[in-house]
Amino acid sequence: MRKFFAMAAVSALAMTGAHADVTEEDLAKDQATTDSVLTNGMGRDQQRFSPLKIINKDNVQNVVPAWAFSLGGEKQRGQETQPLIYDGVMYITGSYSRLYAIDVKTGEEIWQYDARLPEGILPCCDVVNRGAAIYGDKIYFGTLDARIVALDLKTGDVVWRKKIADYKAGYSYTAAPVIVNGLIVTGNSGGEFGIVGEVQARDAETGELVWTRPVIEGHMGTFKGEDSTMTGTLNATWPGDLWKTGGGATWLGGTYDQDTNTLVFGAGNPAPWNSWLRAAGNPSGTEGDNLYAASRIGINPENGDIKWHYQTTPREGWDFDGVNEVIPFVDASGNKRYATADRNGYFYILNRDDGAFVNAWPFVSQISWADGIGEDGRPKFNEGNRPGDPSKAADGKKGEVVFAVPSFLGGKNWMPMAHNPDTGLFYVPSNEWGMDIWNEPISYKKGAAYLGSGFTIKPIFEDHIGSLKAIDPNTGDIKWEYKNNAPLWGGVMTTAGGLVFTGMPEGQFKAFDADTGKELWSFQTGSGIVGQPITWDMDGEQYIAVASGWGGAVPLWGGEVAKKVNYLNQGGSIWVFKLPKQLASSN
């Protein structure tokens, strides 16, 4: 690894004094503590809501840049990070597994850590990193060779570095960790390579494993180095030995619900992509559901045992990963619920006590793989919209083509939505597209793509692909929609000031009226935004930050869509904005 220091900035940092180590109590109240951002999601419930309202509908047009920071060098690619703020320092991760500490007042670099990545890493969808986590006197983040690293907050020195999984088998790691009661919790990436999804918890001080929980049935969990409980029941919903390479990557990270003391993780696509081999002789029944792939899973954070699961797409066959964030909220009747916008195009409401299905509505257009979700929470499949038998596309030939909506990049992909308790709405970054998908020959080989399907993405509307939607979780109604020519791939933030912030691939960082969707402010950052905005207050002023740097899965996997947006410039920078005190009351 490589570490660089800006010594003047280090000296300046040393003069600011130091807060006490970050505690579990600090993490628990992260959303309400406005002078810091300690967790991914601006709170472990992932609501991405700030109670700040210094910047509001009446004065947001006065927001101006405070400083910008270049990530430097040739290592640009997609910048999907969410910044963290603590003790006068901003911490950001960058592509190719880098981490920076920046003086939050001046934008000067304090230190930089570059992971020493080996040859042969296999990230499916760009060399991104989505953020870090702070606890005690350390900051933690994952690397593309499927490792988790703990660094000293002040110096960037490595405290410990642990292996999550074998990168040579296709594993990687790109998400921000979750920290609960002194445990650092991670998932894994690599769902296109026949890996097995797993959640791991380590002692944050030492990095030693405390528990592991595979998310594909038949695999054994561990607790303190000993076997604990099996995930599911062996061969209950998987035929033969396919469970051994069953996919289900836990690649986006998890939510912690403090009220129920539950970690909620999503599991990705089953492997191989093509569902024909996984039918277990009964395509229309539960025998072939392939648990717990394409599911949301409630986990006991103390020992890794599964509390409950809900599968959004049984016997999934379109790469509709079930990893998207699950957000606790309270509905209009006072019920404690979860909301999740799935890659399959449906917006789900679940019970927070047991993960049970409550309701679901489509949030994108022309969904073709299912004709709705039944009262039992199971999709009403359109079986004619599924890729066929891989063996009938022999000799490397392309099989029968079907057109499916959404595309495999989903009605909503990784880019996080936000919930505003004041409006009661969820703000969902979505995309309107479909795909030609067909069957191809398939066999498993360690470290090789394990698909059995080919595909190409196509737009379904002429005037837009991206769509930011405000959804009422009580009815499923779309209260307003902002349409964008290029796909949306960045996170969303909302505030008590009645605002919604998100970025565009064309480079604009925008603010919208949370009630009406009216665009109130825009700033051109110079490269496409696929990062996650945050806000905090300092010295009586409210600040907002977002990463700019076009990349991610769209230009790599986007088919006709990738060609449509190939003019967009890459970059690699952090932009920080503020509302000057003298303009705070100006209309």
Would you name the residues annotated as active-site residues?
A: 319
- Comparing CA positions, the residue from 204, 176, 6, 5 lying closest to residue 92 is 176
Distance separating alpha carbons of residues 267 and 399, to the nearest angstrom:
28
Spatial distance between the Cα atoms of 10 and 14, rounded to a whole number of angstroms? 6
Could you tell me whether strands 519-524 and 508-513 are parallel, antiparallel, or unpaired per DSSP bridges? Answer: antiparallel
Cβ atoms of 82 and 531 within 8 Å: the answer is yes
Residue 242 DSSP SS3: helix
- 3-state class of 60 per DSSP? helix
Phi/psi at 451 (5° precision): -115, -65
Across the strands, what pairs with 152?
138
**CA gap 414, 251 in Å, rounded:** 9
CB 202 within 8 A of CB 184: yes
Measured CA to CA, the distance from residue 400 to residue 277 in angstroms comes to: 16
173 closest CA partner among 119, 130, 221, 212: 130
Q: Are 535 and 543 in contact (CB under 8 A)?
A: yes
- DSSP state, residue 553: S
Calculate the alpha carbon distances from 56 to 9, 294, 495 in Å.
33, 38, 8
C-alpha to C-alpha distance for 208 and 320, rounded to whole angstroms: 33
**Calpha distance 538→532 (Å, rounded):** 20
Q: Which residues contact 35 (CB under 8 A, 6 or more apart)?
A: 85, 536, 537, 538
Beta strands in 37-157 (DSSP E): 49-50, 64-70, 84-86, 89-94, 98-103, 109-114, 133-135, 138-143, 147-152
**Helix-then-strand count for the chain, H and E:** 4, 41
| H or E segment to which residue 161 belongs | strand 158-163
CA 335 to chain centre: 26
For residue 412, give both structure tokens.
């909503």
Can you read off the two tokens belonging to residue 175? 């998400």
Helix (H) or strand (E) holding 439: strand 433-439
| Whole-angstrom distance, CA of residue 536 vs CA of residue 42 | 10
